[in-house]
Amino acid sequence: MPLCFITAITLMKESGEERIFQTIWYSTELLCFIVGIGSMISWFIAGIANDRLLYLYVLGHEMTHAMFVYVCGGRISAIHFSTEGGYVMTNKSNILIALSPYFIPFWSAVLISLHSFVSLWWDIPAGGLILTGLLGFTWTFHIIWTVWMIPKDQPDLKENGTFFSLIIIIFANLVLFTLILCATSREVQLSSFLFQWWNNFLDLGESLLRLVPLYS
């Protein structure tokens, strides 16, 4: 929990600086991203093709499980997905395999891969803006359906303890968002972010140490 708090505070401080505010928050790319977010939220609220979206979410969820099973050196004997749910039968499981679908936006990763591949052969007109808008759509799709699924008695969360799993999911999503922000913005450097994060970590530690005499 302290790591989540420190990361969130650092993100707010870094993205709230005037030089970053001017270059990011008033950019065309952010507008496209927001349009994608709004479109997905509107689809979800209106119930447009929600059955198909749920199927796509479960498919991406189980494919992410499967991908990390192979990354961790495991084997898969069966995989199933439908609007009723899904599963992956494997000989190996760990916290990364269990929780990866909750912080890896599968369809956003597929979209980036396809865009990168097509861009090698064809110069897509306004490709960056289109990609940004679609990323807003797919990332919001991932977040909405993940939040919708979490309260529905997920075995993935119980495997390592529900509370602990939720904290790991929050922290992993904060880290992923930080990496993407650093990768897409010239104003936010990973080195400066880590430096600020470490300073915030030390400040929190000093604050906690000052509280110890008060309760001893």
Q: State pLDDT tens for residues 125-157.
A: 766 778 888 888 998 999 998 888 888 878 888
CA dist 55 and 135 (Å) reads 19
CA dist 177 and 142 (Å) reads 13
User: Which has the closest alpha carbon to 103: 4, 201, 34?
Assistant: 4
Q: Which amino acid is at 205?
A: G
pLDDT band for position 36 (50/70/90)?
Answer: confident
Give CA 123 to chain center in angstroms: 28
The domains of the chain are located at 2-47+98-206
What is the radius of gyration, based on Cα positions, of the chain?
Answer: 20
Q: Evaluate whether 84 touches 149 at the Cβ level (below 8 Å).
A: no
User: Which has the closest alpha carbon to 112: 133, 131, 140?
Assistant: 131
Strand partners, 78: 89
pLDDT band for position 74 (50/70/90)?
Answer: confident
Judge whether residue 105 has pLDDT over 80: yes
- pTM exceeds cut of 0.85: no
Lookup: tokens for 46: 């209106």
User: Which has the closest alpha carbon to 72: 51, 52, 53, 95?
Assistant: 95
CA dist 112 and 131 (Å) reads 8
Q: Evaluate whether 71 touches 48 at the Cβ level (below 8 Å).
A: no
